[in-house]
Structure 1
Amino acid sequence: MGYQIAIDGPAGAGKSTIAKLVAEKLDFVYVDTGALYRGLAVHFLKEGIDETDETALTKACEKARIDLAYENGIQQILLNGENITSLLREERVGNLASRVSALQVVREKLLQTQREIAQKKDVVMDGRDIGTCVLPEAGVKIFLTASVETRAQRRYEQLIREGKQADLKKIEADIQERDHRDSHREIAPLKQAKDAVLLDSSDLTIPQVVERIIREKENAGGN
């Protein structure tokens, strides 16, 4: 069984960036579970699926094959053999993924995939419910957060760097809505595991956050 580091937290907290760097320093495999859900969201959008139609969602899940691949050490998401990684960060994809990730049929589709990866390899896995549901026995659990204002500003700056238009107030509103939806959903809501370390990155640099997590692993006695 691989060693498992679970990093949970709200949208825009920097989970993916931090998890990638921690995995790189420890020579672990990085698993972006949010990307898996976004991959299914891309599938639903391509198929024109109504997210309120459970029968259609179930059939769509049966037709979808979501796989992980790595290109120059960077995780890629394959949908039925097609690399769709470039589509994953679109706002409509992220918003749909947040909504459908609360559905049992969607969670069951991806839960076993995530656990199988963690059984075979040393992993750093980030998402919304890794420490509470997916990997409850993880050796290290981190709940990574930051203020809404900080997360919105980070997202705004990222979009500007990419040459895209951005509205800071709208980004803040979207983050607040997603926080509420993720934390109040009936199935696997976003919450801090009882044995997780709370880490607020609002006033920390990326290297400081990475160092804190690695220190937690050392303190936990991880090999």
Structure 2
Amino acid sequence: MAEGMKRRPVVAIDGPAGAGKSTLAAHLARTFGFVNLETGAMYRALALKAIESDLDFDEEGPLLALVGDTRIGLEPQRDGNRVMLDGMDVSRRIRDTDVTQAASRISVHPHLRAWMVDLQRAMGSQGGVVMEGRDIGTAVFPDAEVKIFLDADPAVRGNRRYRQATPSPTITEEAILKELKERDQRDRNRAESPLRPAEDAVILDSTALTLDEVLAKAEEIVRTHLPG
């Protein structure tokens, strides 16, 4: 970057499951020509490898041993990231329920999170990226120029997840809401990097907003931090 030029900002989007972080991050990346780095996909990719390796999600030691020969890559696409695990495209598989639940469990381990944070910081070191997760603005990029905490009432988030789920007689809105609340409890109360807004984050509550309203408000926030 030439001397005197202001770099494009890092946009950190945090919030609970089902708040719409992925949708917002993808939209902002397309709108401003930023790279969309979906950090949650990194945890899901490692969780998938843990599943395939038959590891206990609650034991950090074996998981740490696993990362030594694990390669996780995100390849931004117009319609979302292509997620690569050891050279294989796992973009679809990591969205399955078993992988999502496993990712929530492995993400509580402090040394594993530190390894992930190093990767995430390297990806966003030059700016011009949108990163979404649960501790981007508080732990991964505490100096990010733009911090948005996207939230919504649990019942609203559960309904959104239910409508997005593949139709199945075994999947009910009540079950999804129960799992979401349990995940909220884990994320907000874990010892390492608990889910919470950064002190300088803009709180964007989408409970009573349409998608277009959420996107417009977020765009306005980002525009105030673009280089002149």
Q: Is the TM-score greater than 0.5? A: yes
Q: Structure 1 CA distance, aligned partners of 2:109 and 2:89? A: 25
Aligned counterpart in structure 2 of residue 57 of structure 1, from 55, 63, 88? 63
The more displaced of 177-186 and 163-172 is 163-172
Which residue number corresponds to residue 182 of structure 1? 187
Q: Structure 1 CA distance, aligned partners of 2:123 and 2:37? A: 8
Does 2:89 match 1:68? Answer: no
Alpha-carbon contact 1:2-1:119 (below 8 Å) kept = no
How big is the shift at 1:74? 2.6
Aligned counterpart in structure 1 of residue 143 of structure 2, from 137, 142, 154? 137
Aligned counterpart in structure 2 of residue 35 of structure 1, from 33, 41, 66? 41
Aligned counterpart in structure 2 of residue 94 of structure 1, from 89, 100, 124? 100
Alpha-carbon contact 1:2-1:118 (below 8 Å) kept = no
Q: Name the structure with the higher helix share.
A: 1
Corresponding letter in the other structure for 1:106:
L
For the aligned residues, what is the CA RMSD?
Answer: 1.5
Where structure 1 has 5 or more consecutive residues not aligned to the other structure, the ranges are: none
The more displaced of 45-54 and 21-30 is 45-54
> TM (normalized to structure 2)?
0.92
Alpha-carbon contact 2:35-2:76 (below 8 Å) kept = no
The more displaced of 122-131 and 91-100 is 91-100
Q: Structure 2 CA distance, aligned partners of 1:217 and 1:57? A: 37
Which residue number corresponds to residue 3 of structure 2? none
Q: Structure 2 CA distance, aligned partners of 1:219 and 1:92? A: 40
Corresponding letter in the other structure for 2:204:
L
CA deviation digits over 1:47-82, x for unaligned, max 9?
000123332111112121111123455311111111
Corresponding letter in the other structure for 2:142:
P
Q: Structure 1 CA distance, aligned partners of 2:148 and 2:78? A: 27
CA deviation digits over 1:134-173, x for unaligned, max 9?
01111110000111110111111111xx344421111111
Alpha-carbon contact 1:139-1:222 (below 8 Å) kept = no
Q: Structure 1 CA distance, aligned partners of 2:122 and 2:74? A: 12
1:156-195 equivalences under 5 Å are: 156-159=162-165, 162-165=166-169, 166-195=171-200
Where structure 2 has 5 or more consecutive residues not aligned to the other structure, the ranges are: 1-6
